[in-house]
Structure 1
Amino acid sequence: MTQVLVLVGTLAVATAFGLFWRARQGQVRAARRSALPDPLLDLVDPASPVTLLQISTTFCAPCRQTRVLLSDLAAKTSGLRHVDYDVTEHPEVATSLGVLRTPTTLAVDAQGVEIMRVGGVPKRDTLLAALRPHLP
């Protein structure tokens, strides 16, 4: 009987954690206001009001999905630019930004100041709604 209770308890905890993790995927969060490292600051276009800076790795499947989504969104939205930065060879860049998983998307203004960030694959409509006040 004890083994059954342990099994049921383990399943309940795992399910609760999975639901919590899934709910946080793609949510727009407040900026951490960390300064961008030089390699990333060089990617920011001062002529673009908002740059979506995608932090990804080589073998990340959700990164590919995010790349397609963000590229399409930037192509269809005035004042929005998308740049993908692979941290596979540069883990110190991810560490300096507090990025613990990929993909992570940072929305930065023309000066390179972080506006917001999204962990996981962004939800298109939610991201666009959050970016609206920063776009022309």
Structure 2
Amino acid sequence: MTGVWVLLGVLALGGVAGALLRARDGRVRAAKSGTSTLPGRVSDALAPDGVTLVQISTTFCAPCRHTRAILSALAEKTDGLTHVDLDVTETPEVAQALSVLRTPTTLALTPDGREVFRVGGVPRGQELLDALKPHLANA
């Protein structure tokens, strides 16, 4: 009988942990205060004006493809918004320098390299657009 209770406890705990992770996935999080030096590969990709969405992805990441489609479409229809996809499969030091622990992660960066916010997982389109509006000139 003890084994059944342990099994039920583990299942309940797993369900709660899964629900919490799912709730966090795709949410816009404000940037942490403090400045960090951007790797050259990232700073070279920044647009001279507006906001650049830097997507950190890996080669065999299925959610990364979905994120790429969302961000590309958003950048095409939004003035002052640029999307750059960086595959860190061969250069993990970029992810380490940016404190990226999962893919896809999207960073919203200003032309001077300041991080405005980040999204872990597949972003929610309207929530992302709402977070970008204050940072875009023609929003």
State the TM-score, normalizing by the size of structure 2: 0.95
- Give the structure 1 partner of residue 11 of structure 2: 11
Distance, in Å, in 1 between the alignment partners of 2:89 and 2:82 is 22
Q: CA deviation at 1:34?
A: 2.7
- Give the structure 1 partner of residue 43 of structure 2: 41
* Amino acid corresponding to residue 88 of structure 1 in structure 2: T
| C-alpha contact 1:56 1:102 (8 A) present in aligned 2 | yes
Distance, in Å, in 2 between the alignment partners of 1:66 and 1:34 is 25
**Counterparts of 1:38-117 in structure 2 under 5 Å?**
38-46=40-48, 48-117=49-118
* Amino acid corresponding to residue 11 of structure 1 in structure 2: L
Distance, in Å, in 1 between the alignment partners of 2:20 and 2:39 is 31
Distance, in Å, in 1 between the alignment partners of 2:64 and 2:44 is 21
| Displaced runs of 4 or more, over 4 A | none
Q: Percent identity?
A: 61
Residues 5-49 of structure 1: CA deviation (Å, up to 9, x unaligned): 000000000000000000000000111343211110000011x31
Distance, in Å, in 1 between the alignment partners of 2:89 and 2:36 is 21
Distance, in Å, in 1 between the alignment partners of 2:134 and 2:93 is 32
Q: Where does structure 1 lack aligned partners over 5 or more consecutive residues?
A: none
Aligned-pair Cα RMSD in Å: 0.8
Distance, in Å, in 2 between the alignment partners of 1:55 and 1:94 is 7
State the TM-score, normalizing by the size of structure 1: 0.97
